[in-house]
Amino acid sequence: MTVDLLLGLQWGDEGKGKIVDVLTSKYDIIARFQGGPNAGHTLEFDGIKHVLRTIPSGIFHKNAINIIGNGVVMDPVVFQKELEGLEKFNMDVKSKLLISRKAHLILPTHRLLDAASEASKGKAKIGSTLKGIGPTYMDKTGRNGIRIGDIELADFKERYRSLADKHQAMIAFYDVDLQYDLKEMEDEFFASIEVLKSLTFIDSEEYLNQAIKSGKSILCEGAQGSLLDIDFGTYPFVTSSNTTAAGACTGLGIAPNKVKDVFGIFKAYTTRVGSGPFPTELFDEDGQTMAKVGNEFGSVTGRARRCGWLDLVALKYAVQVNGVTALYMMKGDVLSGFKKLNVCTAYKYKGKEISHFPYNIEPENVEPIYTEMKGWQADLTTMTSYEELPQELKTYIEFIEKEVEVPIKVVSVGPDRKQTILK
């Protein structure tokens, strides 16, 4: 029996999807524990590139069971499109994909509320993906939400109507100009509910705990990143769920003492999409190079990702909050060609040097303090062993390990499954 967690340590898009796919052959079950279609997890293999939203990243493997946990919020409309996108691969998706009855449903009006809330904030907007994530989790914690299991109830449509009507009154309250055809959105929603009903709904906490008892191995897949966590992220510029390790326990019903390893995924630099503070952000040519070489555009929204140097203050914080036992460093190949690299090792916070992640990292309070390191020139994308990597990169890796006090077990040198080097 093994339960391991895999999660992002920065502001999302670290490469979680790729690594879950790489690791799936070692597990019986892959279980998504939070977030929803705000996520875009990219997998590349055999010349295929595929982006998953709510479906766990183990779906391409023949034998693994994939579970959408109770902590996830599901939009049936996006989910239907996701299923359709998988049709061309000729897999029996339905037999290996199970959905928790306790996962919450994103209604069309949740998406509208997200848009209205963002529009009303003007410049202070979160930069949400507009997938209805925040409003759906608000209804969950406010005890008004509709769950997947409710689809099976006789009064599902009445429940839907009552909540959607309430939402419409709330949308009117925002007093923003929002153009929409709710009837059309609802037709699409109810058609996709029929598709959703063709899948298997389970009591996932029971399923997972029985699996643990019978010796099965489980990899829990996180979405977003630790700095977007509702409690520990850069609030209010965060998502609405616990993206950190504790979220796997509440999002799946797995007790903390069942968890063994926590794999922390991070990029060799830093990116962020949407608003919010980002101390090591670059506005110069170096940032543009990272964006261009790293193809830093959101997998879901296509928005340009902001780029900057690696921030070890933030990384250490994420490692601590998650209890990370092994690090996976992604996109090292993107840094090839830089003469010098900066790594943030401390912050100047209100004039004083600090090495912890403080309450407030707004630019008026925080200035990064850098350690300069030598870059490497070689193309890493065809390298297959740790020995082959340039010495400057090995020094970079060893420096991170020493600062963060957790070993880097894998170095990813390209988007493909095969471009993954074990250390």
| Annotated binding-site positions for substrate | 299-305
Binding flags for ligand IMO, 130-169, as an x/- string (CB under 6 A): -x-xx-----------------------------------
Name, in order, each residue with C-beta under 8 angstroms of 323's C-beta and a sequence gap of 6 or more. Answer: 245, 262
Binding pattern for the stretch 21-50 against Mg ion, x by CB under 5 A and - elsewhere: -------------------x----------
Q: How far is CA 409 from CA 270, 328, 329, 398, 422, in A?
A: 19, 6, 8, 11, 6
C-alpha span between 357 and 368 (Å, rounded): 11
Residue 308 is a binding residue for ligand GDP (CB under 6 A) = no
Who contacts 201 (Cβ-Cβ below 8 Å, separation ≥6)? 98, 99, 100, 101, 148, 149, 151, 152
162: Cα within 13 Å, side-chain hemisphere: 9
- Does residue 36 touch ligand GDP according to CB under 6 A? no
DSSP string, 243-288: -SHHHHHHHHT--GGG---EEEEEESSEEE-SSS--TTB--SHHHH
Close Cβ partners of 228 (under 8 Å, ≥ 6 residues apart):
11, 12, 234, 238, 239, 243
Of 16 and 61, which CB lies nearer to ligand IMO in the complex structure? Answer: 16
Q: Looking at 100, 117, 129, 270, which residue binds ligand IMO (CB under 6 A)?
A: 129
Least distance from Mg ion to the Cβ atom of residue 315, Å: 18
For Mg ion, which stretch binds (CB under 5 A), given 69-77, 116-124, 201-209, 298-306?
Answer: 298-306
Whose CA is closest to 233, among 46, 20, 12, 82? 12
Least distance from ligand IMO to the Cβ atom of residue 111, Å: 10
Closest separation between CB of residue 182 and ligand GDP, Å? Answer: 31
Q: Given candidates 40, 251, 332, 368, which one binds ligand IMO under the rule CB under 6 A?
A: 40
Query: Strands, E, within 95-196: which ranges?
Result: 97-100, 104-105
Which of 44, 150, 188, 261 binds ligand GDP (CB under 6 A)? It is 44
Catalytic residues: 13, 41, 140
DSSP conformation class of 222? P
**Does 274 engage in binding with ligand IMO (CB under 6 A)?**
yes
Q: Could you say whether residue 412 binds ligand GDP (CB under 6 A)?
A: yes
Residues 10-39 that bind ligand IMO (CB under 6 A): 11-13, 35, 38-39
Enumerate binding residues for ligand IMO (CB under 6 A). Answer: 8, 11-13, 35, 38-41, 126-129, 131, 133-134, 223-225, 228, 239, 273-274
